[in-house]
Chains A and B, each alone.
Chain A
Amino acid sequence: MEKGGLGLEITELRLGLLPGSCGPSLVDKNDKKRVFSEIAEDKNSTTEEKSTQTKSQVVGWPPVCSYRKRNSFQEKDHLKKESKMYVKVSMDGAPFLRKIDLSMHKGYSDLALALEELFDCFGISEALKDADNSEQVPIYEDKDGDWMLVGDVPWEMFIESCKRLRIMKRSEAAKGFGLQLIKGFPKGFIKDVTK
C-alpha cells in the first residue's frame, strides 16, 4: 500500500486512542475480531438478566437502525424463551394444583386474570371492586420460605422471589395464618390492578 512507501507508519501512534479514529471502535481489524468473539463467549456464560447493553459494542454494528433497536428489543415485557418461570399454584378447595409461567405476564393485573382463568373463579381481580367482600386472597412463598401477600413489591422483584402461589380463602386467612390484612385486601394489589 502507498503509505508504507512514505514511512508514515512511524508517525502513527498506536498506544491508546488512535487520533482520528472514531468512537469506541478499535485500532485494527484483528482487535475487532477479538471483540466479537469476546461478546459471543460472554453471552453464553451470562444469566438471562444481564443486559447485553453493558458490554462494549463496536459502534455501528450490527447495522440495525437505532429507532428499531430502541423499540423492538424489549427486555422486560417480552422475555426470551430461556427465562420461563413456572411455579405451582394451589387454590383452597380445588382438587389439584396448577402451574403458571410468571414470565409470560406483564404485571399483577395480568396475573390476576390468568389465575382466574386457570381456576375458573372470579374472586381475584374482582376484589378490587369490592375489597371487603373478597373471597380469595393470593399469597406466595418467597425464597426464604415465608408466605407473603401478593402485590406489595414491584412486579420484577416479585417474579424473582416467588416460589409458589396460593389462592387462599378469606376465612383461612382470618384464622391467624399470620398475615396482616389492611382494610380487608392487599393495597398493593388494588393499586396495580386498577392502574
Chain B
Amino acid sequence: MNYFPDEVLEHVFDFLTSHRDRNAVSLVCSLWYRVERFSRQRVFIGNCYAISPEKLIKRFPGLKSLTLKGKHHFADFNLVPYDWGGYVQPWIEALAKSRIGLEELRLKRMVVSDESLELLSRSFANFKALVLVSCEGFTTDGLAAIAANCRFLRELDLQENEIDDHSGHWLSCFPDSCTSLTSLNFACLKGEINSASLERLVARSPNLRSLRLNRSVPLETLQKILVQAPLLVDLGTGSYVHDPDSETYNKLKTTILTCKSIRNLSGFLEVDPRCLPAIFPICLNLTYLNLSYAAGIHGSELIKLIRRCAKLQRLWILDCIGDKGLEVVASTCNELQELRVFPSDPLGIGHDAVTEYGLVAISIGCPKLHSLLYFCQQMTNAALITVARNCPNFIRFRLCILDPTKPDAVTMQPLDDGFGAIVQSCKFLRRLSLTGLLTDQVFRYIGMYAEQLEMLSVAFAGNSDKGMLYVLNGCKKLRKLEIMDCPFGNGALLSDAGKYETMRSLWMSSCEITLSGCKTLAKMMPRLNVEIINEHDQMEICPEDDGQRVGKLYLYRTLVGPRKDAPEFVWNL
C-alpha cells in the first residue's frame, strides 16, 4: 500500500460511508490514519464527553458535518436532572475559532442556548443543515438568528425539542433571498406562526421536499402550501380540523390529488376524522406513516385509513388501534419493516390496548419486519416464540409491557423463554429492550445467543448478579447497557472492569451497587468517568459512607478525563 499516492487512498476511502468503516481504516497504519483524517468530512460523536472539541478539530481539519449526542437515553424518561450537562456551547465556540468550514450540525439530547445558535449562525458561511433532536434550552429567538444569518440553509429540522416559543416572528426572518430550503420541520413548536410568511417561504423554495408543520397551522394554510409545493415528499400536517362541507376542505381534496410525490406523512396533532378522506388518494404511495401524535383518530377511522396504505414500510401508531387494527395492518402492509405502537394512556389499562395477539398477527403478515417498539398490556412466551420463528430478521426489538413485572398472561411463568427464542432466532439483533417477569435465565440466553447485540435496556428484571454477568461476559459487541431497578450489585459491576472501555456507557439506577463499588471501579479504570447522580438534599448523603446504595450511576469511556462542567449533584469518582 505504500505505492499508492495519497490521492488514490483518499479516493478509495471516499467509498466508505459508514463511520465504523472509516474508523477501522484509520487504525490500519499511520499512513492510512493520516490520509483518512485529512479527508474525513463527517464525524459522529456518540458521547460529547468522550472527547474534546479541540481534539476533534485537530484531528479532522476537513470536518464539514458533525453529529453530537449529550445526555444519556434515560434523560428521555426524566431520570437525568435538568442541569446535568450536555452543553453545545463549548463545541460551537471551539469550531467558530478554528478554520473548520462547518456545514451540518446534528445534536441529540443536548442543551442548546440562543447564544449558541446565534454564534453558529454567524460563524460558518456555508452552513447548510441544523438538526436538533430532543434538545432544550433555546427559544424561537435562536431560530430567528439561524433563519436570518444562514444564507445557504437547506435543512432546519426540529424534532421533539422543548423550545420556548416567543411567537412566530422567527419564520419571517428568512430573507427573501433565501431560496435554498429543502427541509423544514417545526412540528414541535407550540406557538403561532405567521401563515402568510410561511406561504411566501414555501413559494420561494422550489427545492422543498420535506415540510412538517406545527399545531397552529390551520388547514387553509396547508392547502395553500401544497399548491406551492406539489413535489413534496415528506409532509407533516398541522391542525387538521375543518368543516368537511366547506370550500376550503374541498379545495384541499383537489390539491392533494396533485401531490403525487408524498411518501411520508405525519402530524395530525389536532384532527377531525371527518377530514381524513382528503388524504385517501395519497395513501397508496405512502411508505412512512406516523400517527402516533394523532390522539383524535380512533380505532375504526384508523383502520379505514390503514387499509389503503399497502406499501407502508414504517408505521408509528397509538395502541388505540387495538389487536383488531393490527390484524388489518398485518393483512394490508406486507412490506412493513418498522412498527412502533405507543401507549395512548401510559398508566391506565385501556380497553383499546394491544396484546400478544396483535403482535403475532403482525409477525405473520409482515415477514420483513426488522424494527419493533411495542407497548402492550400483556405478553406470553408462546407468542414471543411464534414471533421469533416468523420474523428472524429483527435488528431492533423493544417490548414494553406497561406493568413491567407482569408474567406470561396465560401460564403466569416468567417470560425468559420467550425472549430467549427471540435472541436465538434473530441472529442480527442489535438492540433489545425487555420487560415482564424475568429471571437470571433470560440473561443467560442473551449472553449465549445475542452475538451482535449492541444495546440492551433492562428494567425490573433478574434475581442476582449472575444476570448482569451473563450479559457482560457473553455479548462481545455490547456498547450500551442501561439498567434500572434490578438487583445487580458490586459483584457484577466489578467483575470485568475492562469491559467498560469497550463500551460507550453503562447506566445503572436503583440497583444494589454501593458507593464503595463505584469508587473501586473508578480507581481501577482511569479512562472511565464514573459519575454518581445525587439529586437530594446533600445533607442526607455522606460521601464517606461507602456502604450506601448508589441511586444513579452513569459511567462512560473518555479520552479527556472528568468533565469540568458537572453540576454539584454529580460526583465524578
Contacts and interface: CB of A to CB of B under 8 A. Distances in A.
Given A20-B515, A63-B400, A68-B342, A40 B349 contact: yes
A21 B484 CA distance: 12
A25 B510 contact: yes
A-B pairs, top 10 by smallest CB distance, nearest first, are: A22-B551, A65-B76, A8-B547, A67-B160, A2-B491, A60-B77, A78-B295, A11-B547, A20-B548, A52-B347
Interface of A: 1-3, 8, 11-12, 17-23, 25, 29, 32-33, 36, 39-40, 43-44, 52, 55, 57-69, 71-74, 77-78, 80-82, 113, 117
B489 A3 contact: yes
Interface of B: 74, 76-79, 134, 160-162, 188, 243, 245, 269-270, 292-293, 295-296, 298, 318, 342-352, 375, 400, 402-405, 433, 457, 459-460, 464-465, 484-485, 487, 489-491, 509-510, 512, 514-516, 532-536, 540-542, 545, 547-552
B77 A65 contact: yes
B402 A62 contact: yes
Contacts of A63: 76-77, 400, 433, 457, 459
Contacts of A32: 405, 460, 485
Contacts of A23: 535, 551
Q: Is the interface of B mostly helix, strand, loop or mixed?
A: loop
- With most chain A CB atoms within 10 A of its CB, the pick from B292, B400, B484 is B484
A67 B533 contact: no
A74 B295 contact: yes
Contact of A17 (B347, B403, B533, B536): B536
B510 A22 contact: yes
Given A2-B489, A60-B78, 5 more contacts: A3-B514, A19-B541, A62-B346, A65-B160, A73-B295
Contacts of B296: 77-78
Contacts of B403: 36, 40
- With most chain B CB atoms within 10 A of its CB, the pick from A22, A39, A44, A74 is A22
Contact of B292 (A3, A72, A117): A72
A111 B533 CA distance: 51
Contacts of A67: 76, 134, 160-162, 188
Contacts of B404: 36, 61-62
B510 A21 contact: yes
A17 B545 CA distance: 15
B293 A72 contact: yes
25 contacts: A1-B489, A1-B491, A1-B512, A11-B545, A19-B549, A20-B515, A20-B534, A22-B535, A22-B552, A25-B510, A32-B405, A36-B404, A58-B485, A60-B77, A60-B78, A61-B459, A62-B347, A62-B375, A63-B400, A66-B76, A68-B293, A69-B346, A72-B293, A73-B295, A81-B298
A25 B548 CA distance: 16
Nearest to B484: A60
B343 A64 contact: yes
